[in-house]
Amino acid sequence: MDIQKVIEDNLASALGKLGEFTWAYVVLSKNKMSVQFFATNYPEEWVKTYQEQSLHFTDPVVINALNRLTPFLWDEKTETDNKFCSPGIFDKAKNHNVKNGYTFVLHDYKNNMATLSFVIDPERRNEIEDFLFKHRGDINILLTTVHERYLALMMLSENNELHSVNKNLFTDRENEILYWASVGKTYLETGIILGIKTTTVKFHMANIVKKLGVTNARHAVRLGVGLDLVKPVTH
């Protein structure tokens, strides 16, 4: 499974409905201060420079985001109290038309920080800032949704590595239960169809939720269908 492509396509599709943007989704481990994942349409040369020089360690935008929960604007005047912060990064970024922007922040239960940043074209600054501010609720939800999918995909990838001999993520019974849930059957109805107790159905669904790394059965069904993990049941 190409996680990079799934996330990039998901973001490009969702953001494309809002307008034309230069954006970057980045997942940073707060424990290791290391970049775990990124998807972006930033200029390739700038992305390459940023990676090779590990600029996230001194980037004022990253350092500010570590201490925030709400979206914020940034430009070359952005500063922090951190002594390791390097405003000089903006001098390098200017060469790639990355001068100022707007960043949305999310801190997850795995001690990661996820950001979704937008580069703002100086010639359209007021227009873009007003648009992002007006739609900040929708964009925050998008960031949360995409990040939830990223975590689930990473969990699946880890499970697949641990069970590389077994090509099936779910047991036959788990697949049956996920299938019937995907076509709208309740736990009670599924139990009757399969000839098992409702509590047994719930037990297997709990295992499915755990394997997919999501929070509840509804999310498990949605993700299972979205990733074509549900196999049709013939009986």
- DSSP assignment of 111-122, as one string? SEEEEEEEE--G
How far apart are the C-alpha atoms of 218 and 7, rounded to whole Å? 21
pTM over 0.85: no
Strands, E assignment, 19-140: 22-29, 34-40, 72-74, 101-107, 112-119
User: Considering only CA atoms, which of 67, 137, 144 is closest in space to residue 108?
Assistant: 144
Do 96 and 46 touch, CB atoms closer than 8 A?
yes
Long-range contacts of 61-69 (CB under 8 A, 24+ apart): 61/101, 61/103, 61/115, 61/117, 62/28, 62/115, 64/103, 65/103, 65/105, 65/113, 65/115, 66/30, 66/113, 68/105, 69/105, 69/107
User: What's CA 45's distance to the chain center, in Å?
Assistant: 24
How far apart are the C-alpha atoms of 97 and 210, rounded to whole Å? 43
Mean pLDDT over the full length of the chain: 87
Instruction: Lay out the sheet containing 34-40: strands in order across.
Output: 34-40, 22-29, 112-119, 101-107, 72-74
Between 50-64, 145-159, 196-210, the lowest mean confidence (pLDDT) is in 145-159
Residue span(s) of the chain under CATH 1.10.10.10 come to 168-226
Instruction: Tell me which amino acid residue 133 is.
Output: F
Q: Name the β-bridge partners of 117.
A: 24, 103
Instruction: Tell me which amino acid residue 224 is.
Output: G
Residue span(s) of the chain under CATH 3.30.450.80 come to 3-158
In this prediction, what percent of the chain has a pLDDT beyond 90?
49
> What is the pLDDT at residue 75?
85
Higher pLDDT among residues 123 and 86, named by residue: 123
Assign residue 19 a region: left if phi > 0, alpha if psi is -120 to 50, beta otherwise?
Answer: left
Q: Which CATH class is domain 168-226?
A: mainly alpha
Per-residue model confidence as pLDDT tens digits over 53-88: 888 988 999 999 999 999 999 987 776 665 556 667
**CATH 3.30.450.80: does it fit domain 3-158?**
yes
| Residue 186 token pair | 């309740």
Per-residue model confidence as pLDDT tens digits over 30-61: 988 999 999 999 999 999 999 998 889 889 99
